[in-house]
Amino acid sequence: MRNRASPWQSYQHIATQTASPAQLVLMLYDGAIRFLERALTGFAEDDPLRFNQTICNNVLRAQEILGELNQSLNLRQGGEFAATMRRLYNYLDWRLQQSNHHKEATGIKEVIARLAVLRDAWAQMLLQQRQPPPGDLAQAPLMVQA
């Protein structure tokens, strides 16, 4: 029996393969925000295992995305802006580490708010450059290993 990808997975794969680098950044922001929102749902869990797993796994996925965004910065060409973004990504990662370790939602909410500002600014930049954001991937699960 063959394991066939769902139509949604196929669409997602094609979207990531055909997106411009700028569109991929938008998709990464969307994915990080989505994982952090899922992490927040863990705080409503009564079962301690599900509480910890939901928060931890989703925070770690968001941290992987922040790591990708951080590594994609070109400090040589990006100058002070890239250096500032590196410091911001490092701070956001630190906030998520603290929130995950102490199982507190405040830091997760802070990171969501900051990422939402970056995401919206990035989407606006794409529109001004006439690069429409990729299909409605805000609801798509990002291709990050579980």
Average pLDDT over residues 122-132: 83
Q: How high is the pLDDT of residue 129?
A: 84
Domains of the chain, by residue range, sit at 23-132
pLDDT-derived band at 137 (thresholds 50, 70, 90) equals: very low
Higher pLDDT, 141 or 110: 110
* CATH 1.10.630.10 fits domain 23-132: no
The predicted model scores a pTM of 0.79
Token reading at 107: 């830091």
Q: How high is the pLDDT of residue 21?
A: 85
> With 80 as the cut, is the pLDDT of residue 136 above it?
no
Q: pLDDT tens digits, residue range 55-67? A: 999 999 999 999 9
In Å, what is the CA distance from 130 to each residue of 7, 102, 122, 123? 28, 43, 12, 10
Buried b (16+ CB within 10 A) or exposed e, 22-47: ebbbbbbbbbbbbbbebbbebeeeee
DSSP collapsed to 3 states, 32-61: HHHHHHHHHHHHHCCCHHHHHHHHHHHHHH
In Å, what is the CA distance from 82 to each residue of 70, 87, 118? 9, 9, 14
Task: Round to whole Å and give the CA distance between 82 and 88.
Answer: 10
